[in-house]
Amino acid sequence: MKDITLGQFFPGDTVVHRLDPRTKIVFTALYIVALFLAKSYVSYGVVLGVLALCVALSRIKVKVLLRGMRAVIFIVAITALLNLFYTAGAPGEAPLFSWWIFTVYPAGVRAAAFMILRILLLISCTFLLTYTTSPILITDGLERLLSPLKKIKVPVHELAMMMSIALRFIPTLVEETDKIMSAQRARGADFDTGNLARRAKALVPLLVPLFISAFRRADELAIAMECRCYHGGEGRTRLRQLKFAAIDYAAFSWGIALCVIVWALARCGL
């Protein structure tokens, strides 16, 4: 249960860790744009190289990054298979292989390979963001980036606050789930065997205490926030002031440059 690395933060002190969260969010967005503009081996090579550089700079172990991928292997496999079988070859192109209703063209192999690469890169770059940025900083960054939307009455502050609270409580709830599961196991509860109906029933001793404690925590948190005079975002100043440094402007321009290069490559038919 403890081993969910999905979206986990690994503290560190590298250039990537120190970047302003807004920079990282925008750079990730630009990177994803570049990823979808890439059409050829050359352009995929460029985006792959950029990611490799970022990973190297952040000192996140490739192993850790790959472990996060386990959750999506199934989706990647399905997408790749669909691409493999449903991509028609160019007119006149001979199929590589044909059996029953399955026909595979060289174009299909290429499409599948690109699709795998695209999904993996997409996930890697978002993982890199969450691995190197604390959730609190991500929400802070998002709140600042989205603050223009306040003009059209989107409750940006409230959304960001909800998100930080939710993020803050995920580890707590996971830990709590672990603890309650152990406690019920000690009383002979069995969560892992039996058919679906039995397993669903076995969850009652887990879910009831979990919900009760979640509500209790929510209550306590609300009281604690009110005791400290929290009354929404109006007029609040921040503990962490986000400031752009030279490196942030550099990262922005590199992000834009990346998009332009990949776009230009695509225009040149590469």
Closer CB to other proteins, residue 169 or residue 254? 169
Residue spans of alpha helices (H) in the chain? 15-18, 21-37, 41-58, 62-69, 73-86, 106-132, 135-146, 156-186, 196-202, 204-227, 246-267
Among 92, 188, 235, 269, binds other proteins (CB under 8 A): 188
Among 2, 153, 238, 240, binds other proteins (CB under 8 A): 2
- Smallest gap from Cβ 204 to other proteins, in A, equals 7
DSSP 103: E
Question: Does residue 185 touch other proteins according to CB under 8 A?
Answer: yes
Among 7, 10, 69, 261, binds other proteins (CB under 8 A): 10
Token representation of residue 129: 């963001």
Question: Does residue 64 touch other proteins according to CB under 8 A?
Answer: yes
Question: Does residue 253 touch other proteins according to CB under 8 A?
Answer: no
Q: Given the structure tokens 């352009």, which residue do they identify?
A: 43
Question: Does residue 186 touch other proteins according to CB under 8 A?
Answer: yes
Per-position DSSP letters for 11-71, written without gaps between them: ---SHHHHS-HHHHHHHHHHHHHHHHH--SHHHHHHHHHHHHHHHHHHT--HHHHHHHHGG
Binding mask 195-234 for other proteins (x = CB under 8 A): ---------xx--xx--xx---------------------
Query: Would you tell me which residues interact with other proteins (CB under 8 A)?
Result: 2-3, 5, 10, 63-64, 179-180, 182-190, 204-205, 208-209, 212-213
